[in-house]
Structure formats: C-alpha cells, structure tokens
Amino acid sequence: MELNDLKRRMNKSLEEHSKDDFYRYALKDAIDYVQTKCHQDFKNSEGIITLPGGVKRAVVKLVKLAEQKPNVQAISISGAVSESYFSSSDYDVVKFDLKPYIKAVFF
C-alpha cells in the first residue's frame, strides 16, 4: 500500500501534501501492526507487501485513529457541533476486519 492509495481511501486530496510525512509514518506503523496481529508479512513472491482489501480497510482505520486526539470521548459546542473520538470499540472494529487474515501460531 502506497501513500497515494492511502490518501484515496481516506478521501484526501492527492495534491495536498501538508500531512504526507505524518501519513507515511502512520501507514508504516499501521502495516507493522497488521503484520504482527495477523502473524504474516503479506509479501508476494517478489518480496513486495501486497495487502488484501480487508487488511487495507483496517490500515486506513488505524491511520484515521492515529489522526484523532487521544482519550477524548465527545466534545459538544453549544449543542450545534459534536465530535466523537475513538474508544476501545474502534480497535474492535479493526480487529474484526483483520479476523479472516489472522494465522494461528503454535509454539
């Protein structure tokens, strides 16, 4: 998954580059997370990481979660504007997306 693919999936402008550095690091961290969680590297025969659609969906959700302010459940401004931030249930959604891709590990 490349930066432009991430930005398309997040509905971000490809011409906007102010957050590209953040997205590069968050993308790398999210891919590392799914590789660890799923116990597989998702590399093809050429050694290139090729993520299935469900894993890409989980990566996008992880990057979106990384963008949000931590530990804030909700903000309401004069009742007109309301914002909600992630909770542990957001990670449960990511885990659900990854569930079909998790390989069993035996010790």
User: Per-residue pLDDT tens for 88-99?
Assistant: 677 888 888 899
Q: Name the residue ranges covered by the structural domains of the chain.
A: 3-99
pLDDT, residue 101, reads: 93
- Do 67 and 83 contact (CB within 8 A), yes or no? no
Crossing angle (nearest 10°) for helices 20-38 and 88-98: 60
Residues 102, 95: Cα–Cα separation, whole Å: 9
Residue with the two structure tokens 């309301």:
82
Largest alpha-carbon pair distance within the chain?
A: 56
Q: What is the dihedral of CA 1, 27, 30, 91, to 10 degrees?
A: -110
Mean predicted confidence (pLDDT) in 3-20: 93
**SS3 label, residue 80:** coil
What's the whole-number average pLDDT of the chain?
85
